A and B are shown apart, each in its own frame.
Chain A
């Protein structure tokens, strides 16, 4: 894997911030875009733009072809059985909301239970809390150990006959801890429950095979894997998608809307995945995401994973040279991805992030949309977070640690 060649593909990496070369370590929030994706989107608008499906003109046919080929490519990337199991949505958040509102409102009622973990991103908590108020079901929260790893015994012990769905992030967006979602999925199925996997931080960084995981639903975002913002994927097993009502109503998600005097409109729903794609979708975004998948496949997901593992190992080693820095989460690197949340003694995470910014280093600070994990498990007011991707280098990590050492002296 030639990092310098990869870096040449990312125009933004040539930027300077505050007169320092940009070091972009906020990849868990969003990733930078290679010129191939930027060009693919420009090419679509310059040459092929048209609305998809149901038109006979050339541009519509070309746009439809590009859009549906994108679906095929992405379905192969996650090893879905067929493209119809891939629904284009705005991102992980919308995918989880789709499950909560479409499947949840029609399958959950008072007495039922939904099982989630305390390490979840708010997007895997809030949709369930909102729909629980509408339907009266109960949400159970599984514990996370002090080192940020999932308490599997607690999670599995909380399954009951009332549990209808379990929801778990594949990789924590705070600690980078990789959860054994295959194990939890088996436990869910053994207990008659469905399994939703939040793949926002795993699909961009690991090989994710939905058939191997056997998860019923998977959600992930395009912009965290080199793709554009506003596009993501909701994967669902075909039989489940067929049984679910639509999330939104409008064009494309119906086959027919027949009107008759006295009876009003009779609606015939479209088949999945289109049943869940009401209105004009983000056509260009889907094409951009497909191009991102193509880019990652060319690099090789094995290479992506091993590069990030090596960067994380290097960062751990170097950050441990600092005396006032605490890294949160397990020190067992085999259980982590390239996300490192940390605190600097005597400084708020926002000060740390602002000082890094002064030196051109982009890191995140705050709860990272995981307040329960910070408050209940890590016992933190907030944390600073550095997160890596394919274009980051050990030299950037070294520069980051130099700045951390300066910060320690403040």
Chain B
């Protein structure tokens, strides 16, 4: 049974007044992560072939083809894990 640890390498709060969260997906899993997320989230925009602007369950985020995502308005790690689990597991 896969877990979030299988996909997520690291989560970092951004430095700056914007309280965003960056999720670093495991590099070797990034293609699988992107495919899974694109199946579940709504694609609002695809930019320059490298950025997806997405929405899922009221959260907006950007997913980069390098395997990183930047989430806005996530309250805490539990909430982030719940959203990631809903998209990835």
Contacts and interface: CB of A to CB of B under 8 A. Distances in A.
B70 A350 contact: yes
Contacts of B66: 18, 354, 357-358
A355 B20 contact: no
Contacts of B15: 365-369, 382
Cβ-closest 5 pairs across A and B: A382-B16, A366-B15, A381-B17, A366-B16, A358-B66
A406 B68 contact: no
Contacts, number: 60
26 contacts: A18-B65, A18-B66, A348-B16, A350-B14, A350-B20, A350-B70, A351-B62, A354-B62, A354-B66, A355-B64, A357-B66, A358-B66, A365-B15, A365-B16, A366-B15, A366-B16, A367-B16, A369-B15, A374-B16, A381-B17, A382-B14, A382-B15, A382-B16, A382-B17, A406-B48, A410-B48
* Secondary structure class of chain A's binding surface, majority of residues: mixed
Interface residues of B, number: 17
Nearest to A366: B15
B14 to A, nearest CB: 5
A348 B50 contact: no
A350 B64 contact: no
Contacts of A367: 15-16
A354 B68 contact: yes
Contacts of A368: 15
Contact of A358 (B17, B18, B50): B50
Interface in A346-381: 348-351, 354-355, 357-358, 365-369, 374-375, 380-381
Interface string A7-38: 00000000000100000000000000000000
A375 B17 contact: yes
A364 to B, nearest CB: 9
Interface in B50-70: 50-51, 62, 64-66, 68, 70
B3 to A, nearest CB: 25
A287 B64 CA distance: 41
* Secondary structure class of chain B's binding surface, majority of residues: loop
A358 B64 contact: yes
Contact of A348 (B18, B47, B68): B18
Nearest to A407: B48
Contact of B70 (A354, A374, A375): A354
Given A348-B16, A351-B70, 7 more contacts: A18-B66, A350-B14, A355-B51, A365-B15, A374-B17, A382-B14, A409-B48
A369 B15 CA distance: 8
Contacts of B51: 355, 358, 410
Contacts of A350: 14, 16, 18, 20, 22, 70
Given A355-B51, A410-B47, A382 B64 contact: no
Contacts of A348: 14, 16, 18, 20, 70
Interface string B9-40: 00000111110101000000000000000000
Contacts of B22: 350, 354
B22 to A, nearest CB: 7
Contacts of B50: 355, 358
A365 B14 contact: yes
A365 B20 CA distance: 12
Among A18, A367, A369, A380, chain B packs the most CB atoms within 10 A around the CB of A18
A30 B17 CA distance: 23
Nearest to A17: B66
A357 B51 CA distance: 12
Interface string A100-128: 00000000000000000000000000000
Contacts of B65: 18, 358
